[in-house]
Each structure stands twice: as C-alpha cells, then as structure tokens.
Amino acid sequence: MGGRPRHFTLAWPGSPAADALAADAPTADAPASRGLVVLGILNATPDSFSDGGLHLDPSRAADAALAMLHAGADGVDVGGESTRPGAARVPIAEQIARVVPVIAAVRARAGDAPLISIDTTRAEVARAALDAGAEVINDVSGGTEDPALLPLAAQNRCGLVLMHRLTTPERDSFSHRYGAPGERATPVYAPEAGGVCGVVRAALAEMLVRARSAGVESEAVVLDPGLGFGKSVPDNLALLEGTGEMAAALGRPLLSGVSRKSFVGAWAGLPEGHHPTARVAASARLTARHVLRGARVLRVHDVPETLAELARIRPPVQPGPLGQSQRGPLGHS
C-alpha cells in the first residue's frame, strides 16, 4: 500500500485528519471541532436509492471517485449491495465482482493517498476489498451479521465503522413512510432506556466492546448512529441533535450519514414523490448542522455542495444540544 501504514486509525501520521481525530475524544463541555473526514459515496450497485446504476463500470466509477477527490473528499466509500429499505440481498460472489474492479481502478488512478472504504456486512467481501486496496470496513450491521468480520478487521489492523440499525433492509421502511397506511409501524424506542438516543448509544457502546474483544483497537473504530435505518423522521432529528453528548459518552468519532435520505426531504418540506437528487441542498445544510452538533466523519453523495455549506459556518459559534458553545475551524483539513 505504498507509504501508508496498513494500520489505519483515522488519524495516521500525516493524514489530513490527524490533527482532528488524534486529539482527545470530545467531551460534553468541549466537543472536538478541528477537522473532518469526508468520504464520497460510490455505489457499484444497480438499485441504490439515489445513484443506482451510475458506477457499475470500473472506469466510470474511477472517474466519479477522482471528481469527488478533486472536489475535496478525503476518500470514497464503495459498496456492492444496496441497503435501501426493501433491497434484495446480493450474493457474496456478486458483491466481490462489483466492488473489487472498482476499488482496483480507483487505487490505480488515485494512488495511495485517498482513503477507500468498503461498505459491506460480509467478511469475504471485506477481505477481497482490502486485498484490492481498501483500508476501512464500513459495516452497517455493526459487526453482527458475519462473526468473521470483526476478527478480520483486527487481523488486518484496518479502520472499522460500526453502525446501529433496528432491522435489516428487506424489513425496513423509508423514514417518512413509517406509520402510513400499508407501511410498517413507527419504531418505538423505550423512553425508560433514554429514547432513541439512549438506545442507540447503548447499542454502539456494546458494538465497541465486541470489537475490542475481537482484537480491534479502539482508535481504529468510528461509530455510526445509523440515520435512516429503522428510525422515523423525529428519531433521526433527535439523533442528530444528540450527537455531541453521544460522542462524548462513547469516546469515538461519530459518522454522519445524512446524505439524500428520505428524512431530509421531510425536514426540508419537499413534495411527496420527489427524486432523491432534489435533496442535495437540504442534505448539505443538515450535514453542516450535524457537524455543529459533533459529527466528524461525513459520508456524502455531493462533495462540492457539502464543503461549500461547511465553509459558510466557519468558524462556527453555535449553541450545542446542551447549550455549550462549539468553536474552532471546522474546515476540511
């Protein structure tokens, strides 16, 4: 992998995010606010909710990756299986056939500098992706779907993103449709357990413990509250507002997965039936808000628009969810 150490901690020496993510974990009084990691979304799938079919060809996918990198992204997150509500499962061999040529093409053209993350819940797919040049495993099941995935991450000393979800994609619903006639019932997060923020925080803490038990170093882990995965529109907004307190409690950076999701359209008041690309501007605004609340790793479809919105809030002076002030340059390092 050239000059970069295989052990990826989201703050390896000399990385764009080293200053931000090598710093002490955020606290409720002083959330980290010195830098971000921006990952462009690169779905090598025919059926993703927003960009399905656009990046199946490795050459076109590499073109898209280079465009995002030139726009200011630190890297790309490559996936070969859609996780949108109602999506069908994709066999392991098909996932590998989709993502490995894309990762190899991106690495060949972009070199060692950018991050490449593999979005998968399967250890065999992750192994093939790491061999092709990926350095981070992004597991939306939080390490629960494949018992071999956490040991694989430990063995390879790679980065690891663990996400909370209430259910699997084939049993999920779009956030704005929960409770509608003919749709799934609105998720209920027990008030006695702290509601959605308390339940998700506890689940993420358990994931971190399991990862450590498997041999993954804490510094290699980013946690993802799973916006849009088994959450209603109010649930998603509550999680966003509670990010600072959650990051302080967990002691790890949190990932923002706002980009183009259905709750963004509901938040922005977009009409029913709009295409996800209509959510670009609202996604950028809500992602910037998430940064002000403490998110540090951003997974986005629209890199230029997101970075432009972040530039408008620099330097940020914004009351956080607990009333504290969050100050300091948030710019893309």
Contact by Cβ (8 Å): 144, 162: no
Contacts 24+ apart (CB under 8 A), 149-154: 149/121, 149/122, 149/123, 150/210, 150/211, 150/214, 150/215, 150/216, 151/214, 151/215, 152/123, 152/126, 152/127, 153/126, 153/211, 153/214, 153/216, 153/220, 154/211, 154/214, 154/215, 154/216
Q: List the catalytic residue out of 261, 289, 293, 296.
A: 261
Cα(256)–Cα(309) distance, integer angstroms:
15
Cα(144)–Cα(74) distance, integer angstroms:
28
**Pairing state between β 136-139 and 159-163:** parallel
Cα(207)–Cα(224) distance, integer angstroms:
11
Q: List the catalytic residue out of 127, 252, 279, 299.
A: 299
Contact by Cβ (8 Å): 49, 82: yes
To the query of whether residue 261 is one of the catalytic residues in this protein, the response is yes
Strand partners, 136: 117, 159
Cα(97)–Cα(93) distance, integer angstroms:
6
Cα(89)–Cα(143) distance, integer angstroms:
17
To the query of whether residue 299 is one of the catalytic residues in this protein, the response is yes
Catalytic residues: 261, 299
